[in-house]
């Protein structure tokens, strides 16, 4: 009886401490989520009538939405593998006794603490049509380019994305690498295994849980590249970097809440299904490894 009273008292205390967070979650997430679902199913945000999935059908027929979705999917497909490989290589480099290792760690993590808005001016100076890079090309007699007004804008955004996120993923991979026992590598060396065998059968195997987490976070991060793209290229950038967030931002500015909420729910559904599939694959692979 005393244990039950103690459990009830602790449960009541937990509810009291969690109540502010639950209220905030309801006010700022659940209620807007439900309101957005309602707006996506009516024909007008004010005194609208129920139209079912017709807003979603109109959205899928929109050429600008399809362009934004294809650009976002292409950027994710290219940037996430590059980011994971780069982050893993940096993490493996910094586990070795290299020169100025502590300084390098600080250098790679700096983009995490530097506000994006404060560094955008640097990128604009570099890639503006009259910027530093074009001045450098002109001095050497090479043809200048409109970096943010042509297909090269995708490469610029990719570079910014890698610069911003590589340090965070590197820290995660460093934590995973430090949890691999050195005895495994020593035993493999005694057996005559080379670095490639160690990488495939020890490093990558024991990094699997970390790699899945990094993969999911990288995919989510690739959908948030709008912030950097918007600050560098504005509301209507080159069509090669016109992302889903650009589309939703433009729908918000034009007060087209039906297309805005429909696009947001389509993107949320795609991300949710994708993450669920990834976690299912991760659990299956973990059971197989065990």
The predicted pLDDT at position 289 comes to 65
Q: What is the pLDDT averaged over residues 150-176?
A: 85
Cβ partners under 8 Å of residue 168, min gap 6: 109, 112, 217
Domains of the chain with bracketed CATH = 1-39 (no CATH), 54-289 (1.10.3720.10)
**pLDDT-based confidence at 9, cuts 50/70/90?**
low
pTM value > 0.85: no
| Average pLDDT for 126-148 | 77
Q: How confident is the model at residue 170 (pLDDT cuts 50, 70, 90)?
A: confident
**Top-confidence residue, 27 or 117:** 27
The pLDDT value given to residue 84: 92
| 146 Cβ neighbours under 8 A, 6+ residues apart | 129
Cα separation of 106 and 198, whole Å?
28
14-59 per-position pLDDT tens digit: 777 788 888 888 888 888 888 888 888 887 777 778 887 888 888 8
Write the DSSP string, 114-152: S-HHHHHHHHHHHHSTTSHHHHHHHHTTPPP--GGGSTT
pLDDT band at 82 (very low <50, low <70, confident <90, very high): very high
Tell whether the model's pLDDT for residue 233 goes beyond 60.
Answer: yes
Q: Residue 188 — φ and ψ, nearest 5°?
A: -65, -40
- pLDDT above 60 (res 4): no
Tokens, residue 35:
């309101």
Coarse DSSP helix, strand, coil percentages of the chain, rounded to the nearest 5 percent: 80, 0, 20
pLDDT at 174 over 90: no
Other C-beta atoms closer than 10 Å to the C-beta of 259 total 23
């Amino acid at each position: 009886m005393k244990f039950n009273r103690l459990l009830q008292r602790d449960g009541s205390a937990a509810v009291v401490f969690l109540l502010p967070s639950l209220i905030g979650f309801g006010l700022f997430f659940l209620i807007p989520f439900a309101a957005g679902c309602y707006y996506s199913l009516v024909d007008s945000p004010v005194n609208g009538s129920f139209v079912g999935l017709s807003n979603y059908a109109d959205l899928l027929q929109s050429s600008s939405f399809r362009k934004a979705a294809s650009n976002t999917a292409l950027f994710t497909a290219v940037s996430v593998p590059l980011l994971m490989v780069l982050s893993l290589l940096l993490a493996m480099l910094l586990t070795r006794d290299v020169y100025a290792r502590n300084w390098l760690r600080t250098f790679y993590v700096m983009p995490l603490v530097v506000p994006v808005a404060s560094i955008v001016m640097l990128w604009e100076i570099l890639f503006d049509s009259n910027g530093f890079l074009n001045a450098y090309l002109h001095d050497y007699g090479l043809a200048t380019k409109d970096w943010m007004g042509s297909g090269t804008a995708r490469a610029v955004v990719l570079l910014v994305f890698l610069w911003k996120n590589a340090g965070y993923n590197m820290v995660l991979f460093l934590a995973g690498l430090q949890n691999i026992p050195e005895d495994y590598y020593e035993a493999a060396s005694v057996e005559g295994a080379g670095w490639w065998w160690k990488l495939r059968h020890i490093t990558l195997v024991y990094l699997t849980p970390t790699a899945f987490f990094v993969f999911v976070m990288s995919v989510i991060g690739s959908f948030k590249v709008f912030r950097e793209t918007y600050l560098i290229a504005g509301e209507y950038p080159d069509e090669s970097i016109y992302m889903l967030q650009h589309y939703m931002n433009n729908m918000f500015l034009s007060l087209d809440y039906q297309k805005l909420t429909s696009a947001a729910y389509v993107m949320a559904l795609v991300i949710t299904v994708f993450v669920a599939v990834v976690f299912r694959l991760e659990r299956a692979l973990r059971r197989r490894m065990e």
